[in-house]
Amino acid sequence: MLFWVIAGIFTLGAVLSIIWPILKERTGNEDRSSFNLQVYSDQLAELERDYQQGRIGNQDKDSARLEIQRRILTSAKEIDEKGTKDGESNGSFTRMLMAVLLAFLIPSFALGTYISVGKPNLPSQPFKSRVPQANSQTASQNTKDQHAGINDMISSLRAKLESDPKDIKSWELLGKTYLMQKQYSEAAETLQRALQLTPDNLSMRAAFGEALTLAANGVVTEKSESEFKLVELGIPGDPRAQFYLGLAEYQRSNLTNALKRWIALEVDTPADAPWRTMLEKRIQKAQKESNIDVSALKLGEMTKRSIRKNDESPAERVNSQAKKNLPGPSKNQVDAAQSMTAEDRQTMIRSMVQRLANRLSETPDDIEGWLRLGRSYTVLKQPKDAISAYGRAANIAPGRVDVQIQYARSLFPDGTPESQIPSSFKPVIENILQLQPNHPEAMYYRGILANLEGNEQLAKELWSRLLEIMGPNAPARKSIEKRLNSLKAQNN
């Protein structure tokens, strides 16, 4: 008897939960749903940016992405299925009739079904024994639901783009969805369509280059490499461009150049960045194949980066930010590159740099122009031309420490063995120390020069003073202490 009382209560609750919304008048929510759809699309794009910048991990990204996609589908269905209000008199009568019918039919159907298939006398199954099976079924169902949800989202985006082919956000969202679904050819085609609408979007261009590479089974083709070089010109140090340009070097068997790029990227990569594990594996593989001392390259890179961060004065930081804001390729130039072959694009990039060089011949006192030319030559791997451009800037501004240190870095670029430091490097460092005696990077380099010259006492004095300036928690401290300990061991 108790069973039927409980069953009756649950049945009444089920009936009320169904008929109560019917008795209430419906109100349209298209405006709200449209707003929600826009918000969720923006959230999905923001999630992808956070993932690319290493702010969130792969697991968190997938979980959040699926939840946002579910909400997008819900809002889209609300817009598509929105109906109009019924007339007041007819609507009220219809709703009342529907409520009465449901109130009768639902309990009747439930009772008939239970009498037919139910087993009220069946012993209960312990909860513990039900958990594994339930979990397995839930996980399987979740996976199916996720795939179905993503496929529905792709279909919705494609339908939306058929009616509005100039919707840049939808093209980008569709392309990145294809990329996450490992449909690389579709991703490349879709992102290319998006770039035709916004060719100066370098983040999207990096994603396009990645899609081209993955569609080619991981081979960095000439076309994809030219895309990454365009990105590097506009955003020096972009992680995706750096990784794939390093991969291009590796695939050409230029293992030293590949390691230089990857180690520089590793130093700048947060510990929880999603691509860090893959990057470390690439570095280990290249190290085994080349027998290059990666630890020395890594230590030198970390030391230089750390000293540079401690090094900048407020004025230099403003100048660094100004350099970051220098424009990359113009919109028209990037737009023209769409119809070019990979070889033609490389020619276009070089012509851009050449035009800058020609302009500087007419305005030789443009310091920032020479610095930009030096960075462009560095990207194009023309180190001699880069040194010449930085040297011109240094000659124009002998009293600017920030210009002098960039010239010094071009003479002794990252990854260069200390035994290959050119003779022209020392006068530049000494000039910097005259202008700013406690300049950390110059002190570090001058100590290296002193040690190479056999002046161990000067090296010891410079590095000891540098440790005092840097403080106890500086990341480069261990490297400098190691050098000092090595000097002490030689004296003993």
pLDDT tens digits for 211-264? Answer: 999 999 999 999 999 899 888 887 877 889 999 999 999 999 998 888 888 888
Q: What is the pLDDT of residue 87?
A: 45
pLDDT confidence band for 148 (50 / 70 / 90): low
Q: What is the DSSP letter of 26?
A: P
Is residue 492's pLDDT more than 80? no
Predicted TM-score (pTM) of the model is 0.48
Q: What is the pLDDT of residue 339?
A: 53
Q: What is the mean pLDDT of the chain?
A: 74
The share of the chain scoring above pLDDT 70, in percent, equals 58
pLDDT confidence band for 313 (50 / 70 / 90): very low
Are 91 and 25 within 8 A, CB to CB? yes
| CA distances (Å), origin 258, targets 234, 252, 283, 438 | 21, 9, 9, 34
Question: Cα separation of 371 and 390, whole Å?
Answer: 6
Q: What is the pLDDT of residue 381?
A: 80
* Lowest-confidence region among 129-138, 227-236, 455-464, 465-474: 129-138
Q: Which CATH architecture has domain 41-50+161-289?
A: Alpha Horseshoe (1.25)
Q: Residue 34, Cα to own-chain centre: how many angstroms?
A: 28
Are 451 and 427 within 8 A, CB to CB? no
Give rounded-to-5 percent helix, strand, coil for the chain: 80, 0, 20
| CA distances (Å), origin 350, targets 230, 245, 357, 377, 382 | 11, 17, 10, 9, 11
pLDDT, tens digit, 9 for 90 and up, residues 357-377: 899 989 999 998 999 899 888
Range ranked top by mean pLDDT from 155-164, 273-282, 388-397: 388-397
CA dihedral 456, 460, 462, 465 (to 10 degrees): -170
pLDDT, tens digit, 9 for 90 and up, residues 168-211: 888 888 888 888 888 999 999 999 998 888 888 888 899 999 99
SS3 206: helix
Mean pLDDT value across residues 116-137 = 50
Is residue 267's pLDDT more than 60? yes
The structure tokens 């405006």 sit at 31
Is residue 465's pLDDT more than 60? yes
Contacts of 18 (CB under 8 A, 6+ apart): 102, 106
Is residue 395's pLDDT more than 90? yes
Question: Cα separation of 171 and 186, whole Å?
Answer: 11
pLDDT, tens digit, 9 for 90 and up, residues 73-120: 666 555 555 544 444 444 555 555 565 555 555 666 665 665 555 555
Q: Is the dihedral of CA 229, 230, 236, 239 positive or negative?
A: negative
